Structure 1
Amino acid sequence: MLLNLDSQFTPYGTENTIEFTSFTFSGGEPHIKISTDLKNTHEVTITHRIQSFHDMGMLFLATNALRNMDVKTLHVVLPYFPAARQDRLMVSGEPLSVKVYTELMNAQQYASVTIFDPHSEVAPALLNNCKVINNHSFIKKVTQQLSEDVVLIAPDGGALKKIYKVANYLQKHEVVECSKSRNVTTGQLTGFKVYADDLQGKDCLIVDDICDGGGTFLGLAKALKAKNAGNLYLTVSHGIFSKGFTELEKQFTKIFTTDSFKTIENAHCVQIPLEELLRK
């Protein structure tokens, strides 16, 4: 049986789904009531897209409700794992947020937790029974829509290991490394560097896991164009796009993402559903 907590995200389809109603009390507490009879149901997979602590709370309430109905085995699919970027302590007084989220998840004793293209190796290491789906098939679907000689761009050191694995999987794309400088105290980006003398007009595809406000990619786009890049494309596994697409559209011919975080309606953005990747 399936419990899709986000009605717009049904990666395993809508057959054998559990019916429920949910709402938020006036005091701010989320609530769920499962209406499907689950007698003799011993295993359920819960899918959800987490955008807030409220969403995480709904997941835990659903977990408790299912256990109260005597469901013994629970699997969870959370393509975007929250706080994965807060995976190290940089400034005194801040939390190690990913540890907080993983401890909350581990306390639920799920049989498995499936995540897609995590920001680093920290979240999978901290999560019990974690299953990771890499971004290889996603990037392959993107490159099939672009020129055969498109160059893969690693925006920073954190993306290097993953982009070389992708390049090895695809077996036909050059990789160009880049770096960025950031003020640790303020979080402000202070500069970008492209480790190529001349891109010779080749199309470039920046590959990363998350786009939030987009500042990294806007700054990098200018640095790439200064090195004679051709058309610029951006692909991110998790599209938050908290500042919209207006500025990104000025720099990138096309933007690619999945539906791991939210459903997007924008003519400039191609959203590839995760359904085929999660069914593997």
Structure 2
Amino acid sequence: MPAMTEPKLIAGNANQPLAKAIARRMSLHRGMNVSLVDARVERFNDQEIFVEVFENVRGEDMYIIQSTSNPANDNLMELLIMTDALRRSSAARITAVIPYFGYARQDRRAKARTPISAKLVANLLVEAGVQRVLTLDLHATQIQGFFDIPVDNLYAAPIFALDILHQFEGRLSELMVVSPDVGGVGRARELAQRIGAPLAIVDKRREKAGEVAEMTVIGDVDGKTCIIVDDICDTAGTLVKAAQKLVDHGASEVHAYITHGVLSGPAVERVEGSIMKSLVITDSIEPSPEVRAAKNIRIVPTAPMFAQAIMNIWNGTSVSSLFEVETLQPIYEGMYSRA
């Protein structure tokens, strides 16, 4: 059944540039101005978060755009409080658009007496009043099952495939997709199938969290242009070591395609000083000035995909159609057109 009201967007402070870009894309598609709902999200002196919505949202289809990236707790609380404000203002439906879903790495009990924080966050969102979630490349796909509401998990792989087919045109036979660990093989295999490339794995053994003791390359990468694929790059330590290991095994070049550029601590410095030719990330997390200035880090936009996904949800049409390169190509018109 077609929607009777226009979709309305509201944004927290986590990634305002992405929220504005989504609004611009929707304005182009709708042929009418789609702007962010006027609101203020600020902090009292004791850092309590306060939200005030200045427009009438009664009966409206609301979309809150807010990544729960660093500072994760502040951004999560902003999302929860904004949801509560909209629910108490009689919004008809509240969809949380979370380009980067924080706490997703805590999706299971790896040791005794540890939390499953991703499930706790899911409970908090539902209790606050979120009725649907739209996100990108969940670290663990089973997190969708933590919710008793619809969860649409978009994938960066089709965008990355478009970018690779454009950037490496004429060299596709030289490419090899590499998973930086055994757990990421499914993600790497999907991209490899999209671009018609073989697959290799860098198997790693950790002594403790954040420290890699040993790496083994599984697959023949000699003479290949290797593309490392992963969902999150945090401190970039593992990524840089994997790139060096591939070159040591004969790879001619190493590039990386990572969905969420957390890039904390010394990450940018490590990437700039590494053997990698390029690191490609999305703007699911607002890039810092250091990230934007880095000579070998490139950012691909997600606004076209999120804008289309929001309109599909609003229209009641398929979101899974955005999983295909053929569907995304016209959405990213001009970016990857052939000369």
When normalised by structure 2's length, the TM-score is: 0.77
Pair 1:5 & 2:12 matched:
yes
**Post-superposition offset of 1:106:** 2.3
Structure 2 residue 143 is matched with structure 1 residue 123? yes
2: CA distance, partners of 1:98 / 1:142: 31
The match for 2:102 is 82
- Identity, in percent, stands at 21
Counterpart of 1:135 in structure 2 is: 156
Matches within 5 A, 1:36-185: 36-38=55-57, 40-51=58-69, 52-127=72-147, 128-143=149-164, 144-146=166-168, 147-148=171-172, 149-170=174-195, 172-184=196-208
Distance 1:165 1:55 in 2: 31
Give, in angstroms, the shift of residue 207 of structure 1. Answer: 0.3
Report matched runs for 1:234-273 at 5 Å: 234-242=256-264, 243-249=266-272, 250-263=274-287, 264-266=291-293, 267-273=295-301
Mapped pair 1:192 → 2:215: yes
Structure-2 separation of matches of 1:187 and 1:165: 26
**Which AA in structure 2 matches 1:57?**
M
Deviation digits for residues 199-247 of structure 1, max 9, x if unmatched?
Answer: 2322111000000001111221121111101111111000011123222
Q: Residue type of the partner of 2:198?
A: E
- 1:90-134 per-residue CA deviation (whole Å, 9 max, x = no partner) reads 233332221221111222342310110111122112123111102
Alignment of 1:30 onto 2:49: yes
Q: Select 1:274's aligned residue among 297, 302, 321.
A: 302
Runs of 5+ consecutive residues of structure 1 not aligned to the other structure? none
**Equivalent position of 1:204 in the other structure:** 226
- Aligned partner letter, 1:180: K
Q: State which drifts further: 77-86 or 205-214.
A: 77-86
TM-score by length of 1: 0.92
Structure 2 contact 84–129 (Cα < 8 Å) conserved:
no
1:240–1:262 Cα contact (<8 Å) kept: no
Alignment partners' CA distance in 2, 1:91 and 1:176: 29
Counterpart residue number, 2:238: 216
| Residues 43 and 74 in structure 1, CA contact (< 8 A), matched pair in contact too | yes
CA distance in 1: counterparts of 2:43 and 2:51, whole angstroms:
9
SS in 2 for 1:138: helix
Give me the whole-angstrom Cα distance separating, in 2, the residues matched to 1:138 and 1:116. 12
The answer to whether the Cα contact below 8 Å between 2:41 and 2:49 also exists between their aligned partners in 1 is yes
Matches of 1:212 and 1:261, distance apart in 2: 12
Where structure 2 has 5 or more consecutive residues not aligned to the other structure, the ranges are: 1-7, 25-33, 310-339
Give the Å deviation of 1:142: 3.0
Q: Could you tell me which amino acid in structure 1 is paired with residue 154 of structure 2? A: I
